[in-house]
Each structure stands twice: as structure tokens, then as C-alpha cells.
Amino acid sequence: MKSTISKIITLAVVALFGIVAFNSNSVFADSICDNPGVSAEVKAASGCGSGTSEQLPSVVQNILYVVIGISSIIAVIFIIIGGVNYMTSSGDAGKVKKAKDTILYAVIGLIVCALAFAIVNFAVGTILGQK
């Protein structure tokens, strides 16, 4: 059961990263910026004037947001799994302890995800000099 759940979670994470990697907007922005037939307004709206030094922290921040979001979703799924295991334990002390530990560790993971989100926002804001 655990190996099936871990395989499903791994497959979902890999699929999500594949979708994010292939839907990168920078490819389209670069092709617009290099095209001489595109008007200056369109180039300005697509961010052609900004350098890669400004785009890199934004890309890193977006990747970290995706990772933190996926981790949070996985933590919530484990809270649900722990709750189901707790309800179906039928009073067995070993199963109850295992279910409580699953819920506890998932809640700790969710707290870590929230702190990671705050740390990423602080770090990127400090690097870019934003308030």
C-alpha cells in the first residue's frame, strides 16, 4: 500500500515538473524579443527590456513556490491518510499510534512548508531590494 502511494506521489510530482518545464513563458518572450517585426509596445509588455539578472530570482522563486505547494498538498494528503487509518484502526494500539504519528509528522511538514514560504519571500525580497 505504501509503495503504491509513494509511486503515485512520485509520478504526480514528475508530471507536474514536466508540465512546468514545457510551459515556460521565457521561450515565447525570447522569440518575441528577437523578432524585428514585433512592435516596441509588444516587446515592452513581454518584458524584453528586462535583463536576465532580474528574471532569474523570479524563476527561482516560482520554482520554489511550486515545490512548496506540492509539498503542502502531499502533507495534507498524509493528514487525510492518517485520519482514515486512525478511524479504521479498530482500537488496535499499534495502528492508532502509527496513525497519530502520521498525522503529527504531516502537520509538522505543513508547518515547515509555511515557514519555507515565508523564508523564500523574505530572501527574494532582500535580494531584489523589495519591501
Could you report the per-residue pLDDT of 77-124, keeping only the tens digit for each? 999 999 999 999 988 999 999 999 999 999 999 999 999 989 888 887
Give yes or no: residues 80 and 29 share one domain: no
Distance set, CA 40 to CA 44, 69, 87 (Å): 6, 36, 62
Give yes or no: residues 71 and 114 share one domain: yes
| DSSP code of residue 20 | H
- Please report which confidence band the pLDDT of residue 24 belongs to, taking 50, 70 and 90 as the band edges: very low
Give yes or no: residues 35 and 45 share one domain: yes
Query: What total number of domains does the chain contain?
Result: 2
Give yes or no: residues 67 and 119 share one domain: yes
CA distance 37 to 84: 59
Q: Is 50 left (phi over 0), alpha (psi -120 to 50) or beta?
A: beta
